[in-house]
Structure 1
Amino acid sequence: MRDWGDLPKRALTAAVLGPAALLCVWFGGYGWAALMALCMTGLSWEWAKLCGGSTVASPGIFVAPSVLAALALALLGHPAAGLGLLGIGAVGAWYAASRSVGTRPFWWAFGVLYLGIAGVALVVLRGDDLVGRDNVIFLLLVVWASDISAYIAGRSLGGPKLAPAISPNKTWSGSLGGLFGASAVGLLAAMALGGGGSAGRVILVSALLGIATQAGDLLESWIKRRFGVKDSSGLIPGHGGLLDRLDGVIAAAPLAALIGLAVGHGVHLWR
C-alpha cells in the first residue's frame, strides 16, 4: 500500500500558501515585491544553513545581500545590473569561503547565482506591464501541476526509478504524470487567461517548463544528498523548506524569462 500519510498536511499548506502567492502576483506592486523579498531572504537563509554557515557571518553575508540587491535593481527596471551584481556577489562569496577552513567555495558562489538568477527572472517576467501577470500565473500553475501530478502518479503507479542514485523515490511514472499534468493545466490556464496561441504551442511551452521543473527537483535532491540532509529546513509543514517547495520554480523561471524575451514584450509565453 502506498504511503499517503503526508498528503493532508501537504494539501492544507498548499491551500493556504498557493492562493496567497497568486494574490501577490495578481495585484503586483508592493505585495509582489514583499513576496519576492521574503522568499529570497528565506531561501538565502536555507542555503547558508545548508552550506554549514549563516547569513550573518562570512561567507554567508554575501548571499542574501547580493540576491536582495539584485532583486531590487530588477524591480527598479535594471535587471542587467542586477545580474552583474550577482556575479560580483558570487566572486565575493567564493573568495570569502576559500579563506575559511572547512567551507565549500563553489557552493557558496553557486547559491548566489542559483537563487539570484531565478529571482531576477521572476521580476523580469512579472515586469511586463501588458502580460506579466498572466505569464507568472501561467508559470506557477504549470510548475504546481507538474509537482502535484508527479506526486500522485508516482505514489499511485510506482514502477521503475527515474534516478535512484539522486532521488530514490522518483519514478518514471511520476515523471510522465508530471509532464501530462503540466501540459493539461497549461492548456486550461492558457484558455482561461486568453492571449490566443495554438494548442500545440501551449503544450510545447508547458512541457518545456514541466521538464525544467523536474530538472530543478532532481538538482535539489542531488544537492541535498551532497550535504547529507533530507530537507532544506522545516519552515513549511509537509514540504520541508522553501528550497524543497520552490526548486521547480527556481529552475523554470529563467527558462520562462528567456521564452518571454524571445516572444517579445506584451506577448504571452504560449503565443
Structure 2
Amino acid sequence: MTPDQRPAGAFSDPDLLRRVASALALIPVAIAVAWLGGWPFALFWLVAAIAVLFEWNRLVHADAPPVLFAGEIAALVAAVVLIRYFLNPGFGLIALGIGTGFALAFSPAGVSRWAIGGLLYAAAVVAGPVILRDDAAYGFVAILWLFAVVWGTDVGAYFAGRTIGGPKLWPRLSPKKTWAGFAGGTLIGALLGCAIVGIAGLPVGPGLVVVTLAIAALSQAGDLLESAIKRRFEAKDAGGLIPGHGGVMDRLDGFLVAALAAALIGLARGGFANPAAGILIW
C-alpha cells in the first residue's frame, strides 16, 4: 500500500520506523522464496491470499458462517494446485467458479457480491505471482522486476508526496495522496523496475519502459481500490498484522493489481509457457 502523503515538510510520521522495520524483515523473505520458486513460492503466496481473504471477510461481513470461509479457502487451494499441475490458468478458473457458487450459496443475505469479490481479490494475490514465476527461463527476474516496481512506487510516492505536496489525487477516497506522489511513485517504480531488467542482462527498450510505467501506475490504482472498499465499510485498516502497514490486505493492495496485470499481459504475449518473457521482452 502506498503510505499516506502529507503536505510538504511533514516527515514526522510515527509509523515510519515501524514501516521500515517491517519491510526490512519481509523483503529478504519474499526474495528468498522467489528464488526458490516452485511449491515453496506458491505456498507462500497462498498463505498471503488466505490472510487477505480472512481480512476481507472480517471487513465486509463479520457474521459470515465458518463454512463460507472454509469453502473459499478450498477454492483457492484447488486453483493453485490446478494452475501449477497443469501449467494452465484456465484450470484455476474452474476452481474459482466452483468457489463463486459456494459463496453465493452460503453468504449472508445482501453480501454475496462482497463474498465473491473477496474470493476473486484473494485469488489475484496468488495467481499473478505464481503464473509469472512458473516461467522457467525468466520467472525469477519477472518477480524481482515486479517487486522493484511496486516497492519503488510505494517509496517514491511516499517521499514525493511529502516533499512536494500539492493538489490531492482523489480527496474523497484518500485525502492525503497527491498528484506529486502519484507521479513520483510511478517514475521511481518504473526506474527501479527497468534497472532490474537491465542488470539481468535483458534489453530495456521503449516497450518495456511503457509497460513498466503502466504497472507502476496500476499499483497505485490498487491502493485506491482498497481505500474505496475500506471507506465503504468505515475502516481505517483491513487488519493489524504488519506493524506500520496495517493488515496483509493493506500491504498487498497495490501488488496484487500490478501482479495480475503483469501476468495477463505476459500470458497474452508469451502464452502459458512463457508469461514472464511476455512481460519482460519487447
- The TM-score by the shorter chain falls in which range? over 0.9
Aligned positions of 1:202-241 closer than 5 A: 202-241=208-247
CA distances 1:50-81 after superposition (whole Å, capped 9, x unpaired): 12337861433332221222122212234211
Question: Which AA in structure 2 matches 1:140?
Answer: F
Question: Which AA in structure 2 matches 1:236?
Answer: I
Residue 83 (1) aligns with residue 89 (2): no
Partner of 2:4 in structure 1?
Answer: none
Distance 2:260 2:42 in 1: 18
Q: Which moved more, 1:66-75 or 1:6-15?
A: 66-75
Bigger RCO of structures 1 and 2 (CA < 8 A, at least 6 apart)? 2
Equivalent of 2:138 in 103, 108, 131: 131
Distance 1:23 1:54 in 2: 38
Q: Is the 8 A contact 1:55 1:64 kept in 2?
A: no
CA distances 1:137-162 after superposition (whole Å, capped 9, x unpaired): 11111011111111111122211110
Partner of 1:66 in structure 2?
Answer: 75
Partner of 1:13 in structure 2?
Answer: 22
SS in 2 for 1:168: strand
Aligned positions of 1:1-271 closer than 5 A: 1-2=9-10, 3-53=12-62, 57-76=66-85, 77-97=87-107, 100-101=108-109, 103-198=110-205, 200-264=206-270, 265=274, 267=277, 269-271=279-281
CA distances 1:108-151 after superposition (whole Å, capped 9, x unpaired): 01111122134222211111111111111111110111111111
Q: Is the 8 A contact 1:260 1:267 kept in 2?
A: yes
Distance 1:206 1:40 in 2: 24
SS in 1 for 2:221: helix
Distance 1:119 1:35 in 2: 9
SS in 1 for 2:66: coil
Distance 1:75 1:209 in 2: 24
Q: Is the 8 A contact 1:83 1:120 kept in 2?
A: no
Question: Which AA in structure 1 matches 2:101?
Answer: V
Q: Which moved more, 1:148-157 or 1:64-73?
A: 64-73
Question: Which AA in structure 1 matches 2:30?
Answer: A
Unaligned runs of 5+ in 2: 1-8
Superposition deviation, residue 39 in structure 1:
0.7
Q: Is the 8 A contact 1:55 1:63 kept in 2?
A: no
Q: Is the 8 A contact 1:134 1:268 kept in 2?
A: no
Superposition deviation, residue 35 in structure 1:
0.8
Structure 2-normalised TM-score? 0.89
Distance 2:63 2:185 in 1: 35
Structure 1-normalised TM-score? 0.92
RMSD: 1.8
Aligned length: 267
Unaligned runs of 5+ in 1: none
**1:197 to 1:255, Cα distance in 2 relative to 1, 3 A:** same
* Runs of 4+ residues over 4 Å off in structure 1: none
Question: Which AA in structure 2 matches 1:263?
Answer: R
Superposition deviation, residue 7 in structure 1:
1.2
Give the share of equivalent positions with the same residue, in percent: 37
CA distances 1:186-234 after superposition (whole Å, capped 9, x unpaired): 2211111222241x22321211111110110000000000111000100
Q: Is the 8 A contact 2:22 2:242 kept in 1?
A: yes
